[in-house]
């Protein structure tokens, strides 16, 4: 239980903003997706489905920005004292969780978009920008894509929960200050 120093490298402002904005969007769009799934058909349901789609496309765009940012702006290395204290399985889990989350940042909205296309439901981003369908209208394809979209969304939320649990462990059990690298204003 070493105390941390404030001189350790931190993520930059853009990386922090993308992290937290994506976190809010992902949690919100997941909650709306769960809520809307059980609603009876109505105008309110259609509005929420459209919001869900718009948010999904926004998540896709922000994820692309985040990936490009990450590839062009190297993240700060894990502090050596923390890396030394981590068992090997934790390092594998740390890197594996991040890689899988990045994969699902793209897979979840792309599967949702594909499902919408297969059902023949257009996506008009914020009611202004019509997006192309990228799979043909096909009910059998839609029946395959719908559970894949849901399963991948649950997988992403599971990884987010694991990520949050690990951050809380570092903050309250290890007390190593690791969370400060991504916490704004510190």
> pLDDT tens for residues 57-79?
999 999 999 999 999 999 999 99
pLDDT > 80? residue 186:
no
Rounded Cα–Cα distance for residues 31 and 17 (Å):
21
Total domains in the chain come to: 1
Q: Would 169 be classed as within a structural domain?
A: yes
* Beta carbons within 8 Å of 132's beta carbon, 6+ residues apart: none
Q: Would 142 be classed as within a structural domain?
A: yes
> What's the Rg (C-alpha) of the chain?
19
Q: What is the pLDDT of residue 5?
A: 44
Compute CA distances 169 → 24, 157, 163, 177, 179, whole Å: 21, 18, 10, 10, 10
Rounded Cα–Cα distance for residues 36 and 27 (Å):
14
Rounded Cα–Cα distance for residues 125 and 50 (Å):
8
Q: What is the pLDDT of residue 7?
A: 60
Structural domain of 40: 13-181
Token couple for 150 = 């849901």
Q: Would 148 be classed as within a structural domain?
A: yes
Q: Would 1 be classed as within a structural domain?
A: no
**pLDDT per residue as tens digits for the range 83-112:** 899 999 999 999 999 999 999 999 999 999
Q: Would 135 be classed as within a structural domain?
A: yes
pLDDT > 70? residue 3:
no
Q: What is the pLDDT of residue 1?
A: 41
CB 148 within 8 A of CB 113: no
CA angle 79, 184, 7 (to 5 degrees): 35
Q: What is the pLDDT of residue 156?
A: 98
pLDDT > 80? residue 6:
no
**pLDDT per residue as tens digits for the range 120-143:** 999 999 999 999 999 999 999 999
Q: Would 4 be classed as within a structural domain?
A: no
**pLDDT per residue as tens digits for the range 17-65:** 999 999 999 999 999 999 999 999 999 999 999 999 999 999 999 999 9
pLDDT > 80? residue 4:
no
Q: What is the pLDDT of residue 154?
A: 98
Q: What is the pLDDT of residue 185?
A: 83
Q: Would 91 be classed as within a structural domain?
A: yes
Q: What is the pLDDT of residue 2?
A: 43
CATH number reported for the structural domain that contains residue 46 in this entry? 1.20.950
Q: Would 33 be classed as within a structural domain?
A: yes
């Amino acid at each position: 239980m070493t105390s941390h120093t404030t001189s350790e490298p931190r993520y930059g402002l853009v990386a922090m903003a993308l992290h937290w904005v994506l976190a809010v969007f992902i949690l919100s769009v997941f909650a709306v997706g769960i809520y809307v799934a059980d609603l009876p058909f109505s105008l309110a349901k259609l509005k929420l489905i459209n919001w869900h789609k718009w948010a999904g496309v926004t998540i896709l765009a922000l994820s692309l920005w985040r990936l490009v940012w990450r590839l062009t702006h190297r993240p700060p290395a894990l502090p050596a004292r923390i890396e030394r204290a981590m068992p090997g399985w934790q390092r594998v889990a740390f890197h594996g969780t991040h890689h899988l989350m990045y994969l699902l940042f793209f897979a979840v909205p792309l599967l949702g978009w594909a499902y919408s296309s297969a059902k023949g439901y257009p996506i008009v981003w914020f009611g202004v920008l019509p997006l192309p369908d990228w799979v043909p209208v096909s009910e059998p394809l839609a029946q395959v894509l719908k559970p894949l979209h849901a399963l991948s969304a649950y997988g992403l939320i599971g990884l987010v929960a694991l990520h949050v649990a690990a951050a809380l462990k570092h903050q309250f059990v290890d007390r190593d200050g690791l969370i400060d690298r991504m916490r704004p204003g510190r």
